Amino acid sequence: MSLEISTLWFCIILGVTGIISGLIGYLFGRVNATQNPDNSFEINLLEIQNAKLKADLDTCKKRLSTTKTPKESIAVPLVVHQKNTPLFRPYEAKLAFGKSIKEDDLKIVEGIGPKIEELFHNFDIKTWKALSETSADTCQKVLNSGGKRYRIHDPASWPMQAKMAYEGHWKQLAEWQEKHRAGKY
């Protein structure tokens, strides 16, 4: 009988200790949340970055899934310029974007306007191919050359967008830009 009573007391003490520990943990969590209210801002920023990365990943997956493997490929001659560059087809670009697109117009890249395009031209980056081969760090240096007002732009995706334009992936570029336009705040 004394073993049953001691077991009962052990269970009661263990239960009370668990309840007290839970309450203390809850209180510490509440105090910490009130002392650092800026976490919600950081969390929102991280969620936005996560959404952008997921959209980029989805775009890459779509591009991979639409690319045929060598076994599935059909022999289709590639129409190219003299220097093995893909042929610019303005009608396909217009079909995807709903407006006329000029070849090597850097403004087709989401985030680049006339002033930023001029900055890139100053660095002798005048074509989609040249921009696609430019690192994001170099793009940031180009922006920094224009002064403080251009430093707020994020050029991380610009080389990738320029590569899609250069290679004539107009539908994928338009879809990617539409996804990212919807995510602006």
Percentage above 70 pLDDT, the chain: 79
Is there a domain that residue 34 lies in?
Answer: no
Residue in 149, 155, 175 with CA at minimum distance from that of residue 164 = 175
Is there a domain that residue 142 lies in?
Answer: yes
pLDDT band for position 107 (50/70/90)? very high
- Residue 98's domain spans which residues? 55-65+79-182
Structure confidence at residue 78 (pLDDT): 46
Is there a domain that residue 135 lies in?
Answer: yes
Mean pLDDT of the residues in the chain: 81
Structure confidence at residue 44 (pLDDT): 66
Structure confidence at residue 51 (pLDDT): 75
Distance CA 57, CA 136 (A): 18
> 162 with 106: CB under 8 angstroms?
yes
Structure confidence at residue 183 (pLDDT): 47
Is there a domain that residue 105 lies in?
Answer: yes
8-43: per-residue pLDDT in tens?
888 899 889 999 999 898 888 777 666 655 566 667
Distance CA 142, CA 153 (A): 11
Is there a domain that residue 155 lies in?
Answer: yes
pLDDT band for position 145 (50/70/90)? very high
Residue in 110, 92, 125 with CA at minimum distance from that of residue 176 = 110
Is there a domain that residue 15 lies in?
Answer: no
* Long-range interactions of 135-139: CB distance < 8 A, separation 24+: 135/159
Is there a domain that residue 5 lies in?
Answer: no
Q: How many domains does the chain have?
A: 1
> 113 with 107: CB under 8 angstroms?
yes
Tokens of 76: 């289709």
Percentage above 90 pLDDT, the chain: 38
Pick the more confident residue, 161 or 73.
Answer: 161
Pick the more confident residue, 106 or 152.
Answer: 106
56-106: per-residue pLDDT in tens?
877 777 777 776 555 444 444 444 445 566 888 888 989 888 999 999 999
Report whether pLDDT(156) > 50. yes
Q: 23 in helix, strand or coil? A: helix
Q: 116: which residues sit within 8 A by CB, 6+ positions away? A: 106, 142, 143, 146, 150, 153
Is there a domain that residue 1 lies in?
Answer: no
> 55 with 177: CB under 8 angstroms?
no
Q: At CA 126, angle to CA 125 and CA 130, rounded to 5? A: 55
Q: 88 in helix, strand or coil? A: coil
Residue in 107, 125, 115, 88 with CA at minimum distance from that of residue 177 = 107
Does this model's pTM top 0.85? My answer is no
The phi and psi torsions of 110 (rounded to 5 degrees) equal: -60, 120
